[in-house]
Amino acid sequence: MAASGSFSAGSVLGSNLYGSNAECNWEIQPSVPNAVITLTFNSFATEYVYDHVQVYDGSRLIGQYSGFNNPGTLTATSGSMTVIFDTDGSVEHGGFTAQYTVTQGSGAVNPINSLYPEPANSVVVPQQQLPVVTIPGVPSACQQIQRLTSTRGSFSSGSTYIDNANCRWLINAGAGAQVQLQFRRFEMEDFYDWVWVYDGPNDSAPLAGKYSGSSLPPVMTATSGMMFVKLTSDSSIHLGGFDAFYSVMSAEEANSRRIQPSP
């Protein structure tokens, strides 16, 4: 392959799906000395577990990926990268698009998984700009984080959620502000499908609660200025999901309440 480019399986731009019983193989082997290969997935949708993508740095497996979780950006420092896409005989999705760039590394041994240093003499190949792609039939929040910036609003899983979902909403209220969340409808497959609420920008933040089943979760408040909500489901049985309403209390408002004397 050349020093930069892109490839895909299936067509996430249209309604085309990848094929069943496929084994596709891409090898990126630049002739650049100390080549550092950076691969970025622009979109990703495969059947969880059964249709998967493996990415190798030389002969070392970086990871195996499936479902709707975009693997993001992966880096190979061994001089070659191999991408293998295996599918089984049933259930197809839109597949993926990926682009790669090759830069010349410093020749220093890079620790595995660390970010590589940007050497002064590196040649960075301009990245090809791909359009933002969406997969038909999959809610946008289940493809990329849906960002909510109004001071109040609602969001929903839709009238039913999807299998193998990883849907994400981020309410960004700003520093000092608080976010209050109230569910108005809630129906998740008990134990197998969950809604997670975090007090912070992502799922590494403190967990405010995780909920399954059909009881309405309590009203929750995030005090960090951001609230992250995630819906995950397994590969079978999808129910009604949820509708939720949120409102933001500004830093000033939160502060004035804080200094009020207790009753």
Q: Which residues bind Ca ion (CB under 5 A)?
A: 189, 192-193, 233-234, 237
User: Please, which residue, 44 or 48, has the CB nearer to Ca ion?
Assistant: 48
Whether 97 contacts 20, CB under 8 Å: no
User: Please, which residue, 118 or 190, has the CB nearer to Ca ion?
Assistant: 190
Residue 161 beta carbon to Ca ion: minimum distance, rounded to whole angstroms:
8
User: Please, which residue, 7 or 192, has the CB nearer to Ca ion?
Assistant: 192
Residue 211, CB half-sphere, CA atoms under 13 Å: how many?
22
